[in-house]
Amino acid sequence: MEKRIKLCMVGAGRVGKNHAQALTRHVPAAEIVALVDPAVEVRNATGEEFGIEKRDDTMEQAAEEIAFDAVVITTPTFTHKDLARQAAELGKHIFLEKPMAISIEECDQIIQACEENNVLLQLGFMRHFQPEFVEAARRIEAGEIGKPMLVKSLTHGPGLPPAWARDLQMSNGMLAEVNSHDWDAVRWLMGSNYSRVYAEVANLKGEKFNIDAPDFYDTALVSIRFESGSLGTFSGVCPCEYGYDARMEIVGDKGIMQIGEMKGQSIITCTNRDQGLISPIFRTWPQRFAWGYIYELEHFVQCVQTGEQPLVTGNDGRWAVAGVLAGTKSFQEERPVYLNEILN
Amino acid sequence: MEKRIKLCMVGAGRVGKNHAQALTRHVPAAEIVALVDPAVEVRNATGEEFGIEKRDDTMEQAAEEIAFDAVVITTPTFTHKDLARQAAELGKHIFLEKPMAISIEECDQIIQACEENNVLLQLGFMRHFQPEFVEAARRIEAGEIGKPMLVKSLTHGPGLPPAWARDLQMSNGMLAEVNSHDWDAVRWLMGSNYSRVYAEVANLKGEKFNIDAPDFYDTALVSIRFESGSLGTFSGVCPCEYGYDARMEIVGDKGIMQIGEMKGQSIITCTNRDQGLISPIFRTWPQRFAWGYIYELEHFVQCVQTGEQPLVTGNDGRWAVAGVLAGTKSFQEERPVYLNEILN
Amino acid sequence: MEKRIKLCMVGAGRVGKNHAQALTRHVPAAEIVALVDPAVEVRNATGEEFGIEKRDDTMEQAAEEIAFDAVVITTPTFTHKDLARQAAELGKHIFLEKPMAISIEECDQIIQACEENNVLLQLGFMRHFQPEFVEAARRIEAGEIGKPMLVKSLTHGPGLPPAWARDLQMSNGMLAEVNSHDWDAVRWLMGSNYSRVYAEVANLKGEKFNIDAPDFYDTALVSIRFESGSLGTFSGVCPCEYGYDARMEIVGDKGIMQIGEMKGQSIITCTNRDQGLISPIFRTWPQRFAWGYIYELEHFVQCVQTGEQPLVTGNDGRWAVAGVLAGTKSFQEERPVYLNEILN
Amino acid sequence: MEKRIKLCMVGAGRVGKNHAQALTRHVPAAEIVALVDPAVEVRNATGEEFGIEKRDDTMEQAAEEIAFDAVVITTPTFTHKDLARQAAELGKHIFLEKPMAISIEECDQIIQACEENNVLLQLGFMRHFQPEFVEAARRIEAGEIGKPMLVKSLTHGPGLPPAWARDLQMSNGMLAEVNSHDWDAVRWLMGSNYSRVYAEVANLKGEKFNIDAPDFYDTALVSIRFESGSLGTFSGVCPCEYGYDARMEIVGDKGIMQIGEMKGQSIITCTNRDQGLISPIFRTWPQRFAWGYIYELEHFVQCVQTGEQPLVTGNDGRWAVAGVLAGTKSFQEERPVYLNEILN
């Protein structure tokens, strides 16, 4: 067996805990040796829960005190560039959560730092490892539905985002925080980069939730023309009342494919014929993508063991950020925006 | 166009109304010219609703006063033998609701009367005309799932049956009143007669509904060995709280086929992630088999116009009665019962 | 019973036959007394099939020779304005297929002619009568999913459209011929008019089908901002290889609702575990909307009998045309188009 | 963290490999330290695959050479009694695959040996740990569907069983090898023991597969009356052509519940409107019950760590064997068999 990989978790919040759980229960090839988070209480709670004894304010501190091979960064987006560069300079391989960063410049700096320091970089687009998406990609590649012509995607998530994630300046807002996965997945499955983007957004729940950020929106609809000439669209809704919903649908010139569904556990009940049949829905993203999280981390650990390039790269993260920026510019200027306005 | 067929409805109750509705709205080749029911109020209400002006206590009265080609008999089972024989002797073609009759002797008398008087006889097994059942039968016949080995069926119906239908002496109870369709459908789709039958029944709700008929049961489970060597089972539940449920599943030596589902209208909602997805269920048999009722009556009218033999015959009705009697004997004597105990 | 309504069918093609079938088999309150179509062979075939003996080149001829109350117009879009005005001037009530007409001016002329001649006008948006859509509308109205925020719709249809329907000048193309129902249905269920529209279209199959019309497209994606502030999108694909597909999905601030599904008959088979489960899909629009066509015609006949205003009006037809024109202008000028650019 | 539990795998075949995979990848609290199987090639292949270096012919040998806390026994049924007693006498906790043993006497000997040697015994009924079954049990317990009245279950499995498993004397045949899970699950979810059993079996594929065992059957249908007065049925088909199928359906006096479905991965495609929609089916039991296997082993390891009694006990295994014996006697004697004929 390959040697066990030592990891430092950077970020002890919701996503950090999800990944710590996947790693400690389902990725025996990895060992979490340190947990970094400046928020002491959060760090201690997460450390306690997963039996991580080494806990620090900063990655540098951790690196001085304990040996590790790689970092798993799950902190807010605006911290990614600095943290990823630090990790690269420390010679640590990097698993970096989405969105990659706030701007194309930041993405480029991260990519460059990883290249210069010869460390691996994997972006946290776990859909590439979620079994039904993997199988769908395989079939599309094999030509099952012909040339992809039209893709539809959606990510609707429960839970009001934290204040920083509602602030366009700090986070690029919902198009980044919720829909990064859609930006990435439509590009992946269509096998083509975006050429132009049109976005409509709406603030329909801000008042209900007393959100006074002037540029807040909770509902988004993005329209994409791909370089291949094909078309795409996706929606974002957050907070979403009815559950965690992530589905895709692709029409090719030979057929249609649907990936994912709302239904969670396979239980159907009916106790009232006026109400009808009831089935569980996916309530949360950790439920919805349970295997995706396990497999993406397993993949990362394996890449660190073997030196292979991860399947999901900095370039994938950069394209998703480019989409976010084009979409944001589009709804702000109320016009379609070309990707070459963003990337040049 | 063929000449319009004149019908006399015999029975103005629930099933009579269902058929009157199908005939008046969806079978333009037929015309209801008389309505017979000794219950004056019921007869007048139904007559009013469907614009049938000629209303009588008896079929003979109606036949004396107005010309018609055929009768549609929807009265309680224990009246079928006499009414069907009268109709045959009057030279009227007969659409007869299930169950055909109370005993094999009665079935034989009906069949004989129809043959002697040269009138057509169609039994009300509308599943033979319900589009998904028709298609399923076509595919099984075409060998899609191979030789049928195992069939499962169920009919669970809401609504406490009327007192006569809970009395084994008057009606043969639920195995007849509710499950006649299963007896018929498993025989039809398996392409084989029953060889032996084992039935378990339970009275689990009698107390709740204050039913003191000593032989009442609300839950039944029937196990069948077919002459072909294949196996089958079906269940009956009535009253059934959660809707009207009629489904079949057949395993052949090449595959499986499911026919029907609980889901009614194609609407899915979710407004509470702790509750989950909700879809309508079929609430009633008129909803569930809407097209089946239209098409079986259309078929009958067409047979009367052309003289063709109906697809669903007295022999089909007789076999279903034989199953009912074998099943009843089985649970009463707590042993498997052979069909030749019933039919000889 | 109300008096039977006499109808003249104008148009003996595909849609004409569909409506003739619904009327003759399922709407006994109507009687088709004349069939008008300049294409003699088509007219004779359809006339023969449905037993319509009076057949003519023009509506005027028919009107001179036989009495009727109303017309059912199913001819190509570019003929609607003249035919509808003629019918109005003849005092005949009008059932008019979608799209209503080629331009807003034509729509206005039709509406005006109907008002001046005091005849009823019903547009052929049968989704308003399709049971699951009716129930969905009732529930949205009742607040089940809260305030509608985001609607998605699609109509993907098999079959290469006829040459005139691929020519933007003659027909306004697919956004009109295929997606009129989406324009109408999103406006209906969202309870709001469109404010601005952005459309992307693509010609991905033209080469395969040797279509050289310069402005042909087979794939369309429309993005809508409603006056209410809510958002919407729909797609069109035609010809569509995999079946006839029409579904909607609406997110409100309390939940989500899906209307319709791809699955046709309720049969599931599996005969190969490497292939998986197979269910029928809706192959054609007459299958998909069978009840909608029956009920919309029943409704029209009832309105003619009673003088009530039809539920689907000229104004609904006019709004759908406005959407088509805005969408077309949008993809031609590559920018969002405001409805007030079209309607003023 | 609790100390890591050392396990000896007894059995290196199909089930052994499945459990080794679950343990090594998903149960970090366990460590497989030895692999026992008299078949040297199988043992070496499995040992190689999962990095188990200590490999032996017998459990005693392994126990002499290396320390371990518990055994996981996955050998053929007829070896269970002796192996389980040996393990108990060695003081090792026991995870024992189903069926527990060949006879009630053997079950009693195993239970007694575990009690006398104070070792834990968990039976391999992983449905108790499969998330949708766990949730279903919780809801039934909470009264969601009322008092359970009628249960239906099925297990249809691909793959011709090995010769010993087709021999009634050596294995009790399909009712034991395939349907043990049904015997267990219906008893668990109905909360009642069986009172009497009636079984029909059929040999419909023996000829096709050249099986000349005189008592071979490939299709079984079992009817159960529970002590509670409720009814149940399940079917077995093996070999099953269309996939691995395990579903349950329970009707209570307040409603219905379905557990499980045939559909595997959530992908739907359609590339031919004459064929229809296609979805993956579960192909194998390791796919179908992936989480169940992980969680049952996690539970066993936890019980060994803490000394808690496992949720699935020797008594559960014994009742399933009693059902098997009653069912076998029933089809052999062609009559319902009472459990007190088996258990006294």
Q: Are C210 and C339 in contact (CB under 8 A)?
A: no
Chain C nearest C-alpha distance from D160 (Å): 15
Q: What is the mean pLDDT of residues D141-163?
A: 96
ipTM of the complex: 0.95
Contact A272 B242 (CB under 8 A): yes
Interface contact D159, partner C, CB < 8 A: no
Contact D132 A265 (CB under 8 A): yes
- In three-state secondary structure terms, D178 is coil
A245, closest residue in chain B (CA to CA):
B273
Kindly list the partner chains of chain C, i.e. chains with 3 or more CB atom pairs below 8 Å. Answer: A, B, D
**pLDDT on residue C171:** 93
Residues of B in contact with D174 (CB under 8 A): none
Question: Largest Cα–Cα distance of chain D, in whole Å?
Answer: 65
- How confident is the model over A166-186, as pLDDT tens digits? 999 999 999 999 999 999 999
| Residues near B143 by beta carbon (within 8 Å), at least 6 away in sequence | B254
Measured in degrees and rounded to the nearest 5, phi and psi for residue B81 equal -60, -50
- Pick the residue of D145, D257, D269 with the most A CBs within 10 A to test the interface with A by mutation: D269
The beta-carbon neighbor of C277 closest among D244, D263, D274 is D263
**pLDDT on residue D214:** 81
Mean model confidence pLDDT for chain D = 97
Answer positive or negative: Cα dihedral of A55, A59, A61, A62: positive
Question: Largest Cα–Cα distance of chain A, in whole Å?
Answer: 65
Kindly list the partner chains of chain D, i.e. chains with 3 or more CB atom pairs below 8 Å. Answer: A, B, C
Chain A nearest C-alpha distance from D51 (Å): 7
Contact D269 A256 (CB under 8 A): yes
Q: Taking a contact as any Cβ pair under 8 Å apart, which residues of chain C between 214 and 233 contact chain A?
A: 219-221, 223, 225, 229-233
**How far is C-alpha D13 from the geometric centre of its chain's CA atoms?**
15
* Lookup: tokens for C31: 């009687």
**How far is C-alpha B65 from the geometric centre of its chain's CA atoms?**
30
Residue-wise over B85-109: b if at least 16 C-beta within 10 A, else e? bbbbebebbbbbbbbbbbbbebbeb
The beta-carbon neighbor of A237 closest among C146, C147, C150 is C150
* Lookup: tokens for A179: 């829909």
- pLDDT by residue for chain C (344 residues), tens only, comes to 568 999 999 999 999 999 999 999 999 999 999 999 999 999 999 999 999 999 999 999 999 999 999 999 999 999 999 999 999 999 999 999 999 999 999 999 999 999 999 999 999 999 999 999 999 999 999 999 999 999 999 999 998 999 999 999 999 999 999 999 999 999 999 999 999 999 999 999 999 999 988 899 999 999 999 999 999 999 999 999 899 999 999 999 999 999 999 999 999 999 999 999 999 999 999 999 999 999 999 999 999 999 999 999 999 999 999 999 999 999 999 999 999 999 97
- The DSSP code sequence of C31-97 is EEEEEE-S-HHHHHHHHHHHT---EESSHHHHHHHS--SEEEE-S-GGGHHHHHHHHHHTT-EEEEP
Interface contact B23, partner C, CB < 8 A: no
**pLDDT on residue B1:** 52
**pLDDT on residue A292:** 98
The DSSP letter of residue C283 is -
- How confident is the model over B226-255, as pLDDT tens digits? 999 999 999 999 999 899 999 999 999 999
Whether D1 shows a pLDDT value over 60: the answer reads no
Interface contact C136, partner A, CB < 8 A: no
Q: Are C314 and C114 in contact (CB under 8 A)?
A: yes
Residues of A in contact with B264 (CB under 8 A): 276
Interface contact D26, partner B, CB < 8 A: no
D273, closest residue in chain A (CA to CA):
A255
A271, closest residue in chain B (CA to CA):
B242
Interface contact C261, partner B, CB < 8 A: yes
**pLDDT on residue B3:** 83
Q: Are C250 and C189 in contact (CB under 8 A)?
A: yes
Chain D nearest C-alpha distance from C106 (Å): 37
Contact B259 C266 (CB under 8 A): yes
**pLDDT on residue A243:** 96
The DSSP letter of residue D100 is -
Residue-wise over D205-244: b if at least 16 C-beta within 10 A, else e? bbeeeebeeeebbbbbbbbbbbebebbbbbbbbbbbbbbb
The beta-carbon neighbor of C223 closest among A221, A229, A262 is A221
- Pick the residue of D5, D49, D248, D265 with the most A CBs within 10 A to test the interface with A by mutation: D265
Q: How confident is the model at residue A213 (pLDDT cuts 50, 70, 90)?
A: confident
- How confident is the model over D22-31, as pLDDT tens digits? 999 999 999 9
Residues of A in contact with B237 (CB under 8 A): none
Query: Percentage of residues in chain A with pLDDT exceeding 70?
Result: 99
Cα gap D56→D54, rounded to integer Å: 7
> First-to-last CA distance in chain B?
46
Contact D262 C277 (CB under 8 A): yes
Residue with tokens 């989405």: A98
* CA–CA distances in Å: residue B320 to residues B128, B297, B315: 14, 20, 9
Measured in degrees and rounded to the nearest 5, phi and psi for residue B98 equal -85, 160
B261, closest residue in chain C (CA to CA):
C266
Interface contact B266, partner A, CB < 8 A: no
Kindly list the partner chains of chain B, i.e. chains with 3 or more CB atom pairs below 8 Å. Answer: A, C, D
Q: CA neighbours within 13 Å on the CB side: how many for B228?
A: 18
Degrees to nearest 5, angle at CA A154 with A149 and A160: 160
Residues of B in contact with D336 (CB under 8 A): 198, 334-335
Catalogue the long-range contacts made by A166-172 (C-beta closer than 8 Å, 24 or more residues apart).
A166/A211, A166/A213, A166/A216, A167/A213, A167/A215, A168/A213, A168/A215, A168/A328, A170/A76, A170/A77, A170/A78, A170/A102, A171/A76, A171/A77, A171/A78, A171/A99, A171/A102, A172/A77, A172/A99, A172/A102, A172/A321, A172/A324, A172/A325, A172/A328
The beta-carbon neighbor of C242 closest among D243, D271, D283 is D271
Interface contact D272, partner C, CB < 8 A: yes
**pLDDT on residue A2:** 65
Degrees to nearest 5, angle at CA B246 with B244 and B252: 165
Q: Give every residue of chain B whose pLDDT is below 70, as ranges.
A: 1-2
Contact C336 A225 (CB under 8 A): no
Strand order in the sheet with C30-36: C55-56, C30-36, C5-10, C70-73, C93-96, C121-123
